[in-house]
Structure 1
Amino acid sequence: MKWHPHCKYMELPKDYSVEDLARFHGHLGPNIVLGYMMGKYASDNLCCDPFSLKAKVFCPKKTPESCIVDGVQLGSGCTLGKGNIEIVEQSEIECEFIANSKILWIKPKNMPPLPENDGDYEVKIEKYAEELYRMNPDFLFEIKRDE
């Protein structure tokens, strides 16, 4: 349902390919994929209006873990520019999404180990990220609702 049917560029779907994620972020890695999938899950299951949805991303403030923030922005539509995303430094990655007095918590489950850093590591990381992109969110994340 469109809230602004007269606007051409509002409420566009937030469906991005792995190529789109890499184009935005500069390369394809597992954390931008996980962040995108977390944000997309919140948009699809809590609130698809990027002006009503708010995100709080808990993560280390260092790469590669902080790359999750770029993915959350793309998947949820919550952006630093709109001011509806907050980054909170902590050692573990998790996200809190809030809309209409409802809260959704999403936390990555224990992930398969990263590939070994031998040979062409960047190619291995890309393949790993592609595999994550194709996985079911229920397999990847612990998801809790507080309504």
Structure 2
Amino acid sequence: MKFITSEEIGAPVADVWAVLSDIDGLEAEARARGAGLKRLERGASPAWKTEFRFRQRAREVELRIAQILTPELLAFDITGKAAEGSVRLELLPLSPLHCRLTVTSEIRPRTLAARLFLQSLKLARSGMNRRYRDRVQQGAALLTARAKALQAAQ
């Protein structure tokens, strides 16, 4: 199952990239939102183990940075017991003061139960797309605010 959406951000691509590539800042933001993170590896390819609740059950996944292309791509691989997937954050400069963020998420089942679960989600795809788009819009608004704050501090 794949979700793709794009949002325009009213900040220069360099400032948005500075916010996106601030791994410690992203960690702090995730913890502030209630995610349980445990850093597994540091360095060129950081990895985390995270716990969250989805559909009234605690889920645990491993999140690893798969690819970094400065200043245009940040990709993560996600591995769990029942499913695996990826998230790609791509930046495209539109003008000196604006850029476009494209977020692509893909989930692949690893078990029969996960395959059946994803099949049931496909029946509610339009609602899932709307919620995904709303979450990316919220993230883009947060990125814009943080990038503008960074720009003002310079």
Q: So what's the TM-score if we normalise by structure 2?
A: 0.29
Structure label with greater radius of gyration: 2
Structure with the greater relative contact order (CA < 8 A, sep ≥ 6): 1 or 2? Answer: 2
Q: Which has the higher strand share?
A: 2
Q: So what's the TM-score if we normalise by structure 1?
A: 0.30
